[in-house]
Amino acid sequence: MTYCLGVSLPAGLVLASDSRTNAGIDQIATVRKLSLFHRPDSIVIAVLSAGNLATTQAVTTILQQNLDTGDPARDLFVQGSMFEVAQIVGAVLREVLARDADFVRPFGDPGGTFLVGGQIKGEPPRLFQVYTAGNFVEATPRSPFLQIGETKYGKPILDRALHDDLSLAEAAKLALLSFDATMRSNLSVGPPIDMLCYEADSFSTANLSQYTEDDPFMSELRRAYGEGLMEVVRGLPQPPLANRNGPFRE
């Protein structure tokens, strides 16, 4: 299992993935699941993946091999919009599954899912989630974040605190806390965390960071959040502990 998160804000995008993969309790490894496709001054595309590792790696390898070929059906760098990029990712995923799925299925789920985010010059940054079927949805101001993989543990903090007037730095803190909650509750998700904070119209990947298990910032963020949360709990009203509806009955 894995966890990938994409956040779309007017300020830009926050895209993050963990690196743990396993094929059983004794076959745990770390694999980068965030792939970047970058042309300075005009294109930044990030593809984050979850699911069957062979399937997702095949998709990203095909995308990489077709860069600068000029093929309108395969080359990400000749597309006019991120919508068209998401279409290509979905189409390549279908091709890989059509070729391999019947052989893989007796041994496990061959499927994969992707987050596709970035900006092509001439339009704002955009974020999509590509399903195993190859179809996709786009993040909107009402639904500004998308998740794939092990999503449930990191969702509550985003539902409560994420809104579109946040800065990228504030959104990045929430993203890392979302990952921390997920890693605490599910051992199949683990560091290092790769995170790109993409500033709208910058066409730069300079804000690409990696956070290891013992990263000093992650440790401080975890400590400060835990202490702050307990301080909030102490300040909340006490619940009425007496049973106000009469004696308890089975």
pLDDT for residue 28: 63
Q: Are 176 and 218 in contact (CB under 8 A)?
A: yes
**Residues 22-80: tens digit of each pLDDT:** 645 555 677 899 999 999 999 999 999 999 999 999 999 999 999 999 999 999 999 99
- The model's pTM is 0.91
Where do we find the tokens 């995308």? 63
Confidence band for 187, pLDDT divided at 50, 70 and 90: confident
Domain count, the chain: 1
Q: Are 50 and 33 in contact (CB under 8 A)?
A: yes
Confidence check: pLDDT of 250 > 70:
no
pLDDT for residue 149: 94
Residue 8 lies in a domain: yes
**Residues 110-143: tens digit of each pLDDT:** 999 999 999 999 999 999 999 999 999 999 999 9
Residue 206 lies in a domain: yes
Residues of the domain holding 111 = 3-235
pLDDT for residue 240: 80
**Residues 201-241: tens digit of each pLDDT:** 999 999 999 999 889 999 999 999 999 999 999 999 988 87
CATH code, domain carrying 104: 3.60.20.10
> d(Cα 129, Cα 2) in Å, to the nearest integer?
15
Residue 241 lies in a domain: no
Residue 248 lies in a domain: no
Residue 211 lies in a domain: yes
Residue 247 lies in a domain: no
**Mean local confidence (pLDDT), 171-193:** 93
pLDDT for residue 31: 86
Residue 90 lies in a domain: yes
Contacts 24+ apart (CB under 8 A), 159-167: 162/7, 164/9, 164/10, 165/10, 166/9, 166/11, 167/11
Residue 106 lies in a domain: yes
